[in-house]
RNA sequence: GGCCCCGUGGCGGAAUUGGUAGACGCAACGGACUUAAAAUCCGUAGUUCCGAAAGGAACGUGCCCGUUCGAGUCGGGCCGGGGCCA
């Protein structure tokens, strides 16, 4: 029999599935539904191996669920707006749309080579006006619902290129193209009011029991709920200053009051004090990243004002501007208690302010307890705090809150770290924001009937500033309210918006509204979502927000978009360098005796650690090359083998070879089988080797089914290897062999679909494996009537016994004591105790 | 610094959730087939020690301690690696 020709076979089956519309989404009302979705790709131009791993897993689940009788929705699309297209446009002079669609076409071809069970009729790109028109409608609806507002916010401004930069375009505080120092500028921008759902986004995490614990924890930390108080200090200039604190209990340890450099009061004071203005400017140079602010030296500027302690009008605290106080958190002003907050402590030490401990840990003496370089943030009893002395931290918080509330100086509040989502981007390749600026009427929403507001086809990229704003005609329009001259908002939406609801659009890509109500009611939530951990926070949080906003706007009735989430690991590869330290690609080196050499020249090279495949380190393997050599089934099998799916997997040539060998082995096993009865032949009662093979068959069904259902692909693969070994080793012909081979083929079906079809055909079937039901194991065959029981003496294994399943305790004990090894281990001593765990183990304690 | 996750053969990893540690795969070694190689097939294999061999013994899941008849699995404390938040 000829070797399996993956190339011919895969092409043939892909065409056959296509021709029969096999993977169009079925809507058989008698079946349950299953929505399987992988995070859709950015059309960079080529599929990388991380995509292959992601889509292989999704495809296995989709095919498995199909075979189990579900209506499966398994779509694919393109997250198609974004910076790379703009860069290509600027550098190569191409139209970003043309560039993007050419990439999509190339990547679609590559994906199709993988033989994925995708319903391609539902494909769309987020840069299609047919998609983003609905996104514009959602924006208008959210606006109506009060979930969209306009506010001033800082942006990174490149003074040379006269353009707003994305955070990732700021490198070491400088514009990535111009190299000019980036400035912070205030612009009026659009926000989504995600904080309206802070509490719900947090508490609903508990309902997501099919999400990784890690992701839920990350989201929880990101939302960052903390309970505290807002209260005010009376300032020496006659005004009140409101601060936020999570530690009102430490109020008697206060040494200073600090304002954010961005606080309105700071700005007011700086207007009259050039030195303060200079200090504020210095603070802003650090950038907006919290981490940078945290690591920077704590600096302050004395305003000359004082603040009266809320519980002692004669106690005056200095008011300073401090670089570590964030405007976005709380009120942008704090009171500093150095003994119990690390940042306050560093600040106090620098400026020689008092450090008075007011919370004393259990067992320490309030008279002698001191704080050194580390603030004390643990529990304890209050001291040096007048009426709070002796209280626990919790009681003291309560007491302070009660008194401040009674005095009308403060309120208890819950504060969240989560901020509203700034969605305006001053970028030309994105979804236009459907708002219009009229000199008379102000900011006016576009009419729904005018959607989509399409991007112009002729965007000039080599201009200063935002190309959309610079376009000669695009922004000019008439006011939807008064009909007078007006201009469009020239900002576009953050591309995270595009990916926040695409899963809902897939339910019906032809709907006249953003979503079809019946379709989303049926298909959502996504039953299994798969993607990288890098989206653990933003993308998933934004999608969760969108579902809530869409629910409020009346589009959906569900609470959460993704019932099941799986985050897969990365694909890694060894790294190589030549003697000058330059990176070498895997195909530039050859291995001999565990050492690597430059291919051709024989010059030695060094092997570095295995790292995530990346262009910069050149440790990449092109999926299309692997598919060309071995076929898609081999690369799919590799992606599922050995390593648990959530962990990083290492690509090795040896591993790929062994997968290829297994493809051939299965083909041989099936195609060389002789004397099989025709399909559907009945199996007579059997015993001996034939019965053993039947048992192996049904145990394999049970094990693989369970492993696939719980996404333990590596275990399913191991089970299949073991089963293939059992078939090879069994000299059993006839109907029992047919049953075993057919089972093997059906079990590999979701993982190696092309090979499975070829084998199925070779076994005489006319129907696709893709249309064949998943096998069901026979419980009578998975259970065996004898069991092997381990026998221990004093916890150490001394032998095993073979007894009938559920055998009598006495029978088991007798068999255990009959073992020579047991007698030897006992060495004449009488057993004190015998523990018998049915069907498992006997432990004799002597 | 806080919180979380992970440490098992030469390697990737299994282990019925407290019950025979090392399944399955890679690499390795021995053999068969072959003029030879590739491919394929059969076999060996945690470590150390005893034995000519059959076989046997001790040790063994990062380290220490504990709970238990029994611990890779549970608890406490270290060490190392990674992640998130600071």
Give this complex's ipTM: 0.94
Which range scores top for mean pLDDT: A190-199, A307-316, A368-377, A740-749?
Answer: A740-749
Cα A194 vs. chain centroid, distance in angstroms?
Answer: 19
Average pLDDT over residues A769-791: 90
Residue A414 has pLDDT above 70, yes or no: yes
Residue A565 has pLDDT above 70, yes or no: yes
Range name among A284-298, A334-348, A508-522 with the lowest pLDDT average: A284-298
The gap between A805 CA and B57 C1' (Å) is: 32
Answer yes or no: are the C-beta atoms of A210 and A710 closer than 8 Å.
no
**For the segment 724-753 of chain A, residues whose CB is within 7 A of strand B:** 725, 728-729
What is the pLDDT, as a whole number, of residue A125?
Answer: 98
The gap between A299 CA and B86 C1' (Å) is: 19
3-state secondary structure of A809: helix
The gap between A417 CA and B9 C1' (Å) is: 47
Closest nucleotide over all strands to A833 (CA to C1'): B69
A179: CB within 7 A of chain B nucleic strand = no
What is the pLDDT, as a whole number, of residue A369?
Answer: 81
Nucleotides in B strand less than 7 A from protein CB: 2-5, 12-16, 19-21, 23-27, 39-42, 56-59, 69-71, 83-86
Closest nucleotide over all strands to A342 (CA to C1'): B1
The gap between A828 CA and B3 C1' (Å) is: 55
Average pLDDT over residues A114-127: 97
A652: CB within 7 A of chain B nucleic strand = yes
Residue A641 has pLDDT above 70, yes or no: yes
Q: Which residue is nearest to the C1' sugar atom of B41, using CA?
A: A728
Q: Which residue is nearest to the C1' sugar atom of B13, using CA?
A: A642
What is the pLDDT, as a whole number, of residue A124?
Answer: 98
Closest nucleotide over all strands to A218 (CA to C1'): B84
A664: CB within 7 A of chain B nucleic strand = yes
Range name among A489-498, A605-614, A817-826 with the lowest pLDDT average: A605-614
Exposed, middle or buried, A600 (CB in 10 Å: 0-12/13-18/19+)? exposed
Residue A62 has pLDDT above 60, yes or no: yes
What is the pLDDT, as a whole number, of residue A138?
Answer: 98
What is the pLDDT, as a whole number, of residue A662?
Answer: 95
Closest nucleotide over all strands to A649 (CA to C1'): B12
What is the pLDDT, as a whole number, of residue A594?
Answer: 60
Answer yes or no: are the C-beta atoms of A769 and A756 closer than 8 Å.
yes
What is the pLDDT, as a whole number, of residue A133?
Answer: 97
Q: Where are the strands (E) in A261-382, listed by range?
A: 300-309, 312-322, 333-336, 359-360, 381-382
Residue A773 has pLDDT above 90, yes or no: yes
Residue A644 has pLDDT above 80, yes or no: yes
A832: CB within 7 A of chain B nucleic strand = no
What is the pLDDT, as a whole number, of residue A788?
Answer: 87
Q: Where are the alpha helices (DSSP H) in A20-169?
A: 49-67, 83-92, 96-113, 129-144
The gap between A574 CA and B29 C1' (Å) is: 26
**For the segment 397-426 of chain A, residues whose CB is within 7 A of strand B:** 417
Range name among A304-313, A393-402, A599-608, A764-773 with the lowest pLDDT average: A599-608
What is the pLDDT, as a whole number, of residue A90?
Answer: 87
Exposed, middle or buried, A107 (CB in 10 Å: 0-12/13-18/19+)? buried
**For the segment 795-814 of chain A, residues whose CB is within 7 A of strand B:** 795-798, 800
Average pLDDT over residues A646-670: 92
3-state secondary structure of A829: coil
Answer yes or no: are the C-beta atoms of A4 and A758 closer than 8 Å.
yes
- Chain mean pLDDT for chain A: 89
What is the pLDDT, as a whole number, of residue A294?
Answer: 58
Residue A178 has pLDDT above 90, yes or no: no
A600: CB within 7 A of chain B nucleic strand = no
Cα A605 vs. chain centroid, distance in angstroms?
Answer: 36
The gap between A290 CA and B86 C1' (Å) is: 9
A290: CB within 7 A of chain B nucleic strand = yes
Answer yes or no: are the C-beta atoms of A338 and A345 closer than 8 Å.
yes
The gap between A654 CA and B28 C1' (Å) is: 14
A217: CB within 7 A of chain B nucleic strand = yes
What is the pLDDT, as a whole number, of residue A379?
Answer: 77
Q: Tens of pLDDT along A792-838?
A: 988 888 888 888 888 888 888 888 888 888 888 877 778 888 899 88
The CA distance from A563 to A525, in Å, is 6
What is the pLDDT, as a whole number, of residue A794?
Answer: 86
Which range scores top for mean pLDDT: A15-19, A304-308, A685-689?
Answer: A15-19
Answer yes or no: are the C-beta atoms of A48 and A110 closer than 8 Å.
no
The gap between A836 CA and B48 C1' (Å) is: 33
What is the pLDDT, as a whole number, of residue A533?
Answer: 86
Q: Where are the alpha helices (DSSP H) in A93-227?
A: 96-113, 129-144, 198-203, 213-223
Of the pLDDT bands very low, low, confident and very high (cuts 50, 70, 90), residue A782 is confident
The CA distance from A479 to A486, in Å, is 5
What is the pLDDT, as a whole number, of residue A293?
Answer: 57
Structure tokens, A480 = 């939807």
The CA distance from A186 to A264, in Å, is 14
* CA distance readout (Å), A740 to A397, A436, A680, A727, A807: 70, 68, 13, 7, 30
Of the pLDDT bands very low, low, confident and very high (cuts 50, 70, 90), residue A342 is confident
The gap between A294 CA and B86 C1' (Å) is: 8
Q: What is the dihedral of CA A818, A821, A822, A825, to 10 degrees?
A: 150
The gap between A19 CA and B44 C1' (Å) is: 51
Q: What is the dihedral of CA A10, A46, A134, A466, to 10 degrees?
A: -170
According to DSSP, the residues that pair with A670 across neighbouring strands are none
The gap between A843 CA and B66 C1' (Å) is: 22
Q: Which residue is nearest to the C1' sugar atom of B15, using CA?
A: A715
What is the pLDDT, as a whole number, of residue A508?
Answer: 96
A784: CB within 7 A of chain B nucleic strand = no
What is the pLDDT, as a whole number, of residue A354?
Answer: 87
Computed on alpha carbons and rounded to an integer, the radius of gyration of chain A in Å comes to 34
What is the pLDDT, as a whole number, of residue A610?
Answer: 77
Closest nucleotide over all strands to A533 (CA to C1'): B83
Average pLDDT over residues A83-102: 92
Question: How many residues does the structure list for chain A?
Answer: 846
Closest nucleotide over all strands to A641 (CA to C1'): B25
Closest nucleotide over all strands to A594 (CA to C1'): B27
Local structure of residue A421 (DSSP, 8 states): E
The gap between A719 CA and B14 C1' (Å) is: 11
Closest nucleotide over all strands to A537 (CA to C1'): B84
3-state secondary structure of A53: helix
In terms of pLDDT, which residue wins out, A116 or A416? A116
State what percent of residues in chain A have pLDDT above 70. Answer: 96
Q: Which residue is nearest to the C1' sugar atom of B42, using CA?
A: A729
Of the pLDDT bands very low, low, confident and very high (cuts 50, 70, 90), residue A286 is low
- Predicted TM-score of the model (pTM): 0.90
Range name among A193-202, A418-427, A466-475, A597-606 with the lowest pLDDT average: A597-606
A794: CB within 7 A of chain B nucleic strand = yes
Range name among A157-171, A211-225, A528-542 with the lowest pLDDT average: A157-171
Residue A176 has pLDDT above 70, yes or no: no
Closest nucleotide over all strands to A788 (CA to C1'): B20
Residue A33 has pLDDT above 70, yes or no: yes
Range name among A7-11, A729-733, A750-754 with the lowest pLDDT average: A729-733
Range name among A285-299, A341-355, A569-583 with the lowest pLDDT average: A285-299
The CA distance from A403 to A508, in Å, is 57
Residue A595 has pLDDT above 80, yes or no: no
**For the segment 222-281 of chain A, residues whose CB is within 7 A of strand B:** 222, 224
């Amino acid at each position: 029999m000829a070797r399996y020709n993956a190339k011919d076979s895969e092409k043939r089956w892909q065409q056959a599935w296509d021709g029969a519309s096999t993977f169009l989404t079925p809507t058989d009302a008698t079946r349950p539904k299953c929505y399987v979705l992988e995070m859709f790709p950015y059309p960079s131009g080529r599929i990388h191996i991380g995509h292959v791993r992601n889509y292989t897993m999704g495809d296995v689940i989709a095919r498995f669920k199909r075979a189990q009788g579900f209506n499966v929705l398994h779509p694919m699309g393109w997250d198609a707006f974004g910076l790379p297209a703009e860069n290509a446009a600027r550098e190569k002079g191409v139209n970003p749309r043309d560039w993007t669609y050419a990439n999509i076409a190339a990547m679609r071809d590559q994906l199709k080579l993988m033989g994925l069970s995708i319903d391609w009729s539902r494909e769309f790109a987020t840069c299609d006006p047919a998609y983003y028109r609905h996104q514009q409608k959602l924006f208008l609806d959210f606006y109506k619902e009060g979930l969209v507002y306009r506010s001033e916010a800082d942006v990174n401004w490149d003074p040379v290129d006269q353009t707003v930069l994305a955070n990732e375009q700021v490198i070491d505080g400088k514009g990535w193209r111009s190299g000019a120092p980036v400035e912070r500028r205030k612009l009026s921008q659009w926000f989504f009011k995600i904080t309206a759902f802070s509490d719900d986004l947090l508490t609903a995490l508990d309902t997501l029991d099919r999400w990784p614990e890690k992701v839920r924890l990350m989201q929880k930390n990101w939302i960052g709920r903390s309970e505290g108080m807002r209260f005010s200090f009376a300032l020496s200039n006659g005004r009140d200053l409101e601060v936020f604190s999570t530690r009102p209990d430490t109020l008697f340890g206060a040494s200073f009051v600090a304002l954010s450099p961005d606080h309105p009061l700071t700005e007011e004071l700086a207007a009259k004090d050039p030195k303060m203005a200079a200090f504020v400017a210095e603070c802003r140079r650090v950038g907006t990243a919290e981490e940078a602010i945290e690591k920077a030296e704590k600096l302050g500027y004395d305003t000359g004002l004082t603040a009266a302690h809320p519980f002692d009008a004669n106690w005056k605290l200095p008011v300073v501007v401090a670089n570590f106080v964030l405007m976005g958190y709380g009120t942008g002003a704090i009171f500093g208690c150095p003994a119990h907050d690390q940042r306050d402590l560093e600040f106090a030490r620098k400026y020689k302010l008092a450090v008075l401990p007011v919370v004393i840990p259990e067992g320490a003496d309030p008279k002698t307890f001191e704080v050194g370089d580390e603030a004390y943030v643990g529990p304890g009893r209050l001291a040096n705090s007048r009426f709070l002395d002796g209280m626990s931290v919790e009681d003291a918080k309560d007491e302070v809150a009660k008194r401040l509330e009674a005095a009308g100086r403060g309120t208890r509040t819950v504060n969240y770290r989560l901020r509203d989502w700034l969605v305006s981007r001053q970028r030309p390749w994105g979804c236009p924001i459907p708002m219009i600026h009229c000199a008379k009427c102000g900011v006016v929403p576009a009419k729904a009937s005018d959607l989509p507001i399409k991007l112009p086809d002729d965007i000039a990229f080599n201009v200063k500033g935002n190309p959309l704003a610079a376009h000669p005609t695009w922004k000019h329009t008439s006011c939807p309210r008064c009909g007078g001259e007006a201009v469009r908002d020239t900002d576009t939406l953050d591309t995270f918006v595009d990916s926040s609801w695409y899963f809902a659009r897939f339910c019906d890509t032809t709907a006249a509204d953003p979503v079809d109500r019946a379709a989303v009611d049926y298909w959502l939530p996504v039953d299994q979502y798969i993607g990288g951990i890098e989206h653990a926070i933003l993308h998933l949080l934004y999608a969760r927000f969108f579902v809530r906003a869409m629910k409020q706007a009346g589009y959906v009735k569900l609470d959460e978009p993704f019932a099941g989430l799986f985050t897969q690991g990365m694909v890694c590869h060894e790294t190589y360098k030549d003697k000058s330290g330059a990176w070498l690609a895997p195909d530039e080196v050859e291995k001999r005796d565990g050492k690597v050499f430059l291919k051709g020249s024989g010059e030695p090279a060094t092997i570095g650690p295995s790292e995530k495949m990346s262009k910069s380190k050149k440790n990449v393997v092109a999926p299309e090359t692997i598919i060309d050599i071995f076929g898609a089934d081999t690369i799919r099998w590799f992606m599922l083998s050995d390593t648990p799916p959530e962990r990083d997997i290492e690509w090795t040539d040896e591993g790929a070879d062994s997968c290829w060998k297994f493809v051939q082995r299965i083909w041989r096993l099936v195609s060389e089988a002789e004397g099989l009865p025709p399909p559907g032949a009945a199996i007579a009662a059997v015993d001996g080797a034939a019965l053993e093979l039947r048992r192996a068959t049904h145990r394999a069904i049970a094990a693989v089914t369970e492993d696939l259902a719980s996404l333990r692909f590596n275990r399913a693969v191991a089970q299949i290897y073991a089963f293939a070994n059992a078939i090879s080793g069994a000299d059993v012909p006839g109907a029992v062999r047919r049953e075993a081979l057919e089972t093997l083929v059906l079990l590999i079906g979701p993982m190696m679909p092309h090979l499975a079809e070829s084998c199925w055909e070779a076994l005489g079937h006319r129907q696709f494996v893709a249309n064949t039901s998943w096998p069901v194991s026979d419980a009578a065959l998975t259970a065996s009537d004898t069991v092997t029981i381990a026998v221990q003496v004093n916890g150490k294994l001394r032998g095993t016994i073979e007894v009938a399943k559920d055998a009598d305790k006495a029978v088991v004990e007798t068999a255990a004591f009959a073992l020579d090894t047991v007698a030897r281990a006992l060495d004449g001593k009488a057993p004190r105790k015998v523990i018998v765990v049915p069907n498992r183990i006997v432990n004799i304690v002597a």
